[in-house]
Structure 1
Amino acid sequence: MTHSPATTKAAQRGFTLIELMVAMILGLLVVAAAGSLFLSSRKVYGTTASVNRIQENQRIAFEMLARDVREAGGNPCTRNIVNMLDTSKPGGNYYLGWADGLSGADGTGPNGSDELTLYLANGASISVTSNGEPSANIGVNSTTGLVVNDILMVCNAEVAAIFQATSLPSGTSIQHNSGNGNPGNLMKPFQIDQASFDASVGGTNAPGYCFLPETPKNPNCLNEPSNSPAQVVKPFGVRWYLANNGRGGTSLYRQVVTNGGATSGTPAEIAEGVTDMQVTYKVGAAPSYVAAASGLAWKQVTAVHAQLEFEAVRGALTKNDTEGTDNQVLTRSLDDYILLRNHQDIQ
């Protein structure tokens, strides 16, 4: 008869209650440490994502705003701009100071933010083929993209004139008759500068500036051939401002305005979470920057100081992600000085 060895009590013994409690406590400590590390990493990730989002908004806002500011007052030809529109009407008055390049307003937006409007003519151009007499007709190689009543600019190296197209006959001509229209053209031909234009008595056959004088020169042309090409472009304004974005915050917007303010494009949201924009201006060689004010010599502004305040926005993030260690919303400032290229004197 065989006998199985007897199993000892020591071999059958399990964990004691104390050992089990110690193991559970150690496990809880490991879980707590891992959880704390996870939450800390999640907080760092969320904060980093919020800051990165602010920085991206700052970069976009600065790049686009700076580009428009640098080009303010620019056109393919010259800074000598003559406005031949009827300035007694809103559309014509809009372009009266177009050569200034920019204008601003203080405290008109949310949180007392400023507004900035820039005037540009740096789009696609159309070549002028004939303008040998001071008539209401400019020969061009195409009128594609233009419509009757568009406000346009014709220019060469000497003069840039703003006018309204009253007709586009044959697709190769732009007429700018006086009289009717809104704002319409004054009954005066092009002139060499604004003062001469304002003093002109006008009339169909009155002397005036010819962008492409012919040979022999028409006796009503006040100028000799400039030997520079002439072009037609469409001037426009760009308005930068803050407004409510419909998501519980404010954003920076850019809006294109054409035809003397009669046509306003859909505002484009450039950067979200912008809570303030303050703009000041350097006039001439003055050492300090000043706020926008009535009578400010806009044509002499050489630089713009833009200060924008940004705050973190939630979007797909949590409230905790957008807050700093003080439980306040994360904020950053953008502080930049931008030179106006078209207002700098050539040395």
Structure 2
Amino acid sequence: MSRGKQAGFGLIELMVAMVLGLLVLGAAVAVFQSNLRTFNASDGQNRVQENARVAYELLSKDVRSTGSSACSAEASVLGLDAMSTSFKTPLSGSATELTTVSADDLSYRVKTASASAVTLVESAPQASDIFKVGDRVMVCNAAMTGFAQIASIAGQTVTFTAALEFDPALTEYGDPASISIARFRNNRWHVKANGGATGNSLYVNRNGGGDQEVAEGVQRLDVTYHQAANGNPAVYVAAPTDFQSVDAVRMFMPMRAVMPSKAPGENDIVNRNVASTASIRNRSL
């Protein structure tokens, strides 16, 4: 009985198989690199968009709230202290930064009040959960507004380090039911170096404390103001002649993000420009 000859792969067949394998491998690597570039570009773009959204939401919120009070906007502001003085001119700034002054968004009704202390109406939340010793607050009724710093908190009673310029419970035309207390807010927005790969960031300084980083990668803050009176209302200017007449603020911020990785010869920096305008609520209604 004769045996059949067993055939194997020839050299040419092996070489063809190797070439085909290399082609498939090269295609897979090319697809992977393309997907990686797309992911990195999208990641950089997403970082820019996220930082831009945070920057504009928080900055625009402060601009819209400029000069807002826990009570009536027509209430007289008493006192010559720094808080009273700044609240009388609640918007200030330049072409590269701005400062907004207002009451906090949350205000609390008062049951009893004097020039040196107030007691909250609601039993919950606790006053100690709302305020802290050292907080600066606005106390007002329908007729008058004053500012103080908290010295102590006992139960729902908040005591001040120094007496207000008026007694909220004894004010003419100021109904006791209209008395409220809220945190005082003085926020300075500016851009400075962050020490990182993106170079600069947007920072806010709250009530004279330390700078807090809000949005990474903001290269600069260009601010222009719409002055509705005592100026040219048709244009936005970098240096208004009367901040009390400003009713809108336009903000332009070049943004930068760094992609997590890059291919050789590619730029890992993503640059975008974003702009927005915010109107001051109590001056545009």
The bucket for the TM-score relative to the shorter chain is: 0.7 to 0.9
Alignment gaps of 5+ in structure 2: 121-126
CA contact (8 A) 2:111 2:118 kept: yes
Q: Quick one: distance in 2 between partners of 1:320 and 1:44?
A: 11
> Could you say what secondary structure the match of 2:203 adopts?
strand
Q: Quick one: distance in 2 between partners of 1:329 and 1:274?
A: 13
Aligned pairs for 1:165-244 within 5 A = 171=157, 174=160, 176-177=162-163, 189-190=165-166, 211-213=168-170, 223-224=172-173, 226=175, 229-244=178-193
Q: 1:140 aligns with which of 104, 111, 118?
A: 118
CA contact (8 A) 1:299 1:343 kept: no
Q: 2:145 aligns with which of 160, 163, 180?
A: 160
Deviation at residue 154 of structure 1 after TM alignment:
2.3
Q: Quick one: distance in 2 between partners of 1:70 and 1:76?
A: 15
Partner residue, 1:127: 110
Instruction: Report the TM-score, using the length of structure 1 for normalisation.
Output: 0.67
CA contact (8 A) 1:243 1:250 kept: yes
Q: Deviations over 1:219-238 (max 9, x none)?
A: xx7x3454751123331211
Partner residue, 2:225: 281
Q: Deviations over 1:189-248 (max 9, x none)?
A: 54xxxxxxxxxxxxxxxxxxx6433xxxxxxx7x34547511233312112122222323
Q: 2:93 aligns with which of 79, 85, 104?
A: 104
Q: Quick one: distance in 2 between partners of 1:129 and 1:157?
A: 15
Q: Quick one: distance in 1 between partners of 2:119 and 2:133?
A: 15
Distance 1:250 1:128, change over 3 A: same
Structure 1 counterpart of 2:98, which letter? Answer: L
Structure 2 counterpart of 1:254, which letter? Answer: V
Q: Deviations over 1:117-162 (max 9, x none)?
A: 111212443516245xxxxx355215753647x6543212232233
Aligned pairs for 1:243-258 within 5 A = 243-248=192-197, 249-257=199-207
Q: Quick one: distance in 2 between partners of 1:65 and 1:126?
A: 28
Q: Quick one: distance in 1 between partners of 2:151 and 2:14?
A: 95
Q: Structure 1 stretch 69-78 or stretch 158-167: which is displaced more?
A: 158-167
CA contact (8 A) 2:149 2:160 kept: no
Aligned pairs for 1:64-83 within 5 A = 64-80=58-74, 81-83=76-78
Q: Quick one: distance in 1 between partners of 2:42 and 2:144?
A: 53
Alignment gaps of 5+ in structure 1: 87-91, 107-113, 132-136, 178-184, 191-209, 214-220
Q: Quick one: distance in 1 between partners of 2:168 and 2:18?
A: 93
Partner residue, 1:27: 21
CA contact (8 A) 2:139 2:179 kept: yes
Distance 1:242 1:156, change over 3 A: same
Partner residue, 1:116: 98
Structure 2 counterpart of 1:291, which letter? Answer: A
CA contact (8 A) 1:102 1:119 kept: yes
Q: Paired residues, what number? A: 270
Q: Quick one: distance in 1 between partners of 2:132 and 2:13?
A: 89
Deviation at residue 274 of structure 1 after TM alignment:
1.3
Q: Deviations over 1:263-317 (max 9, x none)?
A: x1x4332211111211111111612111136xx3112111110111111224xx1
Deviation at residue 31 of structure 1 after TM alignment:
1.2
CA contact (8 A) 2:137 2:150 kept: yes
Q: Percent identity?
A: 33
Q: Quick one: distance in 2 between partners of 1:254 and 1:281?
A: 19
Distance 1:46 1:343, change over 3 A: same
Partner residue, 1:330: 270
Deviation at residue 338 of structure 1 after TM alignment:
0.7
Q: Quick one: distance in 1 between partners of 2:13 and 2:277?
A: 70
Q: Structure 1 stretch 284-293 or stretch 68-77: which is displaced more?
A: 284-293
> Could you say what secondary structure the match of 2:247 adopts?
strand
Structure 2 counterpart of 1:158, which letter? Answer: A
Bigger strand fraction: 2
Q: 1:307 aligns with which of 248, 252, 271?
A: 252
